[in-house]
Amino acid sequence: MTYRSLAELEDAQDDERRAARMRIEAAEQYIGHYRSRIDQVREAFYRLGAHEGVGDDPGFRQELQRVSDAAGENVAYAGRRIGELEEEYDAMLREHDELRDRFLADRNNTD
């Protein structure tokens, strides 16, 4: 895209950075909500199991652990994905700097 001014370029870059940060923050909030909700569900199942007298049953504990492990894997995967988004964000910032530098160089060459 061709920008008519440095301000126009920087405004577009600001919008792009803001949108990317919002995606990252939304993902982080989702993970926090997911983790909190899983903890609530796990605690509720444990209380129910204890109430029903199966809290110490190896099968019950094994299944509860399986669910906990799956949730942990989901959180770890999401954390890795957020890390990738952060890396993409950093690359975008470098690209923005390069584009800004090229814009200024082109502008100085045409003056």
Number of domains in the chain: 1
Tokens of 46: 């444990």
Whether the CB-CB separation of 3 and 12 falls below 8 Å is answered with yes
Q: Identify whether 28 is part of a domain.
A: yes
**What predicted TM-score, i.e. pTM, was given to this entire model?**
0.80
Question: What do you get for the CA distance between the two ends of the chain, in Å?
Answer: 20
Q: Identify whether 93 is part of a domain.
A: yes
What is the domain range of residue 40?
A: 6-110
pLDDT tens-digit profile of 38-93?
999 999 988 999 999 998 899 999 999 999 999 999 999 999 999 999 999 999 99
